[in-house]
Amino acid sequence: MIETRIDRRFAKLKAEGRPALVTFITAGDPDLATSQAILDALPEAGSDVIELGMPFSDPMAEGVPIQLSTQRSLAHGHTMDKTLQMVRDFRKKDNDTPIVLMGYYNPIYVRGSEAFVKEAREAGVDGLIVVDVPAEEDNELCIPAIEGGVNFIRLTTPTTDNKRLPTVLENTSGFVYYVSVTGVTGAAAADAANVAQAVSRIKSHTELPVAVGFGIKTAEQAEEIGKNADGVVVGSVLVEAIRKSLDETGKATNQTQAAVTEVVRSLRMGVEKARK
């Protein structure tokens, strides 16, 4: 597979001796224009890799904050076409920061896997995280993604044992996303000691970077997790910042973008302290 922006970014950060800050927002939340402004502002605020959620009506792995962000996006008529256009518009200003589309298979399936991968790659997408396509079904989307030059990033969890892990990792590329707690997104805080053991175990099976997510909300937590992980993934705290910034009618305010970037800057300070 050809080298991607994800490969280059993690290699650069490894050379610098610090973990990546991976940030998640839902495309179109709370509306298209505000979401685009937030997306465009994330790199300067400190994001190294961006996960852009593809809104879907049944986000079964998500906790309440991301479910609500999806509802806000869909209520404003957001579509996959608009998500891909957001990436195109982002690429007019930033050709270096990796973008990973994250979500569920249904919106991809209806477009056709190969057609979707081609369109996503041309828009400037570097990777996919699709949580409901198991490793046993790699021919559905994973293989077309790899053949199309897009990293396919898989999730591992505390319940992914050593027997299962090689199957999960077989066609994974870009990085491995370790879900540090069982349950839905934003449900609990990660335990740094358990994460360290898990990252070590995963690394014994792969040379890929390991990014850790779920339950990381503060700079202090990011610092602790970043001492062992190659990347620290944050999402629920960012979409909550959006929600709290909205006015009484649920519309964006002049504080919405700043609410997100302020949190990102704080988290970036945490990951920068992780290896000092």
What pLDDT digit, counting tens, does each position of 23-53 carry?
999 999 999 999 999 999 999 999 999 999 9
137 assigned to active site: no
Average pLDDT over residues 196-220: 94
pLDDT for res 174: 97
DSSP annotation string for the chain: ----HHHHHHHHHHHHT--EEEEEEETTSS-HHHHHHHHHHHHHHT-SEEEEE---S--TT--HHHHHHHHHHHHTT--HHHHHHHHHHHHTT-SSS-EEEEE-SHHHHTT-HHHHHHHHHHHT--EEEETTS-GGGTTTTHHHHHHTT-EE--EE-TT--TTTHHHHHTT--S-EEEE-SSSSTTSSPPPHHHHHHHHHHHHTT-SS-EEEESS--SHHHHHHHHTT-SEEEE-HHHHHHHHHHS-TTS---TTHHHHHHHHHHHHHHHHHHTT-
Strand partners, 65: none
Q: What sign has the CA pseudo-torsion 31, 37, 43, 45?
A: negative
Number of domain units in the chain: 1
Whether 236 and 189 have beta carbons less than 8 Å apart is answered as no
User: Dihedral through CA 264, CA 270, CA 274, CA 275, nearest 10?
Assistant: 80
pLDDT band at 180 (very low <50, low <70, confident <90, very high): confident
**Mean pLDDT across the chain:** 93
Contacts of 111 (CB under 8 A, 6+ apart): 80, 119
In the prediction, which pLDDT does 220 show?
95
Q: Report pLDDT for 175.
A: 98
Catalytic residue selected from 16, 51, 140, 240: 51
pLDDT for residue 57 is more than 50:
yes
Query: Does 240 participate in catalysis according to the annotation?
Result: no
**Is 252's pLDDT higher than 60?**
yes
pLDDT in tens, 79-107: 999 999 999 999 999 999 999 999 999 99
> CATH no. for residue 219?
3.20.20.70
Q: Which domain holds residue 42?
A: 5-273
Report percent pLDDT > 70 for the chain: 94
The pLDDT of residue 186 is above 60? no
Q: Write down the pTM of the prediction.
A: 0.94
Instruction: Provide mean pLDDT across the span 202-212.
Output: 96
Which entry of 16, 62, 122, 272 is annotated as an active-site residue? 62
- The reported pLDDT for the residue numbered 190 is 59
Model confidence over 115-136: pLDDT tens digits?
Answer: 999 999 999 999 999 999 989 9
**pLDDT bracket for residue 2 (50, 70, 90):** confident
